[in-house]
């Protein structure tokens, strides 16, 4: 992944993505090769894709440590971002959330498996 493709925020996240620099930073971050490799490795091991990426997200976006509605909305948007990247790279979304083993930012997250 060399260039960052556009994010499809859908109606739920359109306004927040257009106005929040943290959301735009998050999109660039989840599109980095290293970030994707961590998500893919977690998925191949049956773990939620965002589980190993929490510390990196927390360092890049310290505002994710807050506990307010704006932050929760941003975290949900990051989940949508992760899904778009994973599906684009050949992984299939598994419905439902899985508990994170070491919750830094997320209590639960989605799991994916490689497309067969």
Bridge partners for 98 per DSSP: 109
Q: Which of 61, 40, 59 is nearest to 51 (CA)?
A: 40
Give Cα separations from 24 to 7, 90, 115 (angstroms). 9, 23, 28
Instruction: Note the helical H segments in the chain.
Output: 10-19, 21-30, 33-44, 54-60, 69-88
pLDDT of residue 2: 59
Give the tens place of pLDDT for each residue, 21-67. Answer: 999 999 999 999 999 999 999 999 999 999 999 999 999 999 999 99
pTM over 0.85: yes
């Amino acid at each position: 992944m060399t260039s960052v493709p556009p994010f499809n925020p859908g109606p739920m996240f359109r306004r927040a993505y257009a106005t929040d620099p943290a959301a735009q930073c998050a999109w660039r971050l989840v599109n980095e090769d290293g970030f994707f490799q961590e998500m893919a490795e977690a998925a191949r091991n049956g773990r939620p894709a965002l589980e190993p990426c929490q510390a990196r997200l927390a360092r890049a976006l310290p505002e994710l440590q807050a506990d307010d509605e704006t932050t929760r909305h941003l975290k949900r948007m990051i989940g949508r971002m992760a899904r778009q990247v994973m599906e684009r790279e050949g992984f299939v979304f598994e419905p439902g959330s899985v508990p994170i083993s070491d919750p830094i930012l997320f209590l639960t997250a989605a799991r994916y498996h490689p497309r067969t």
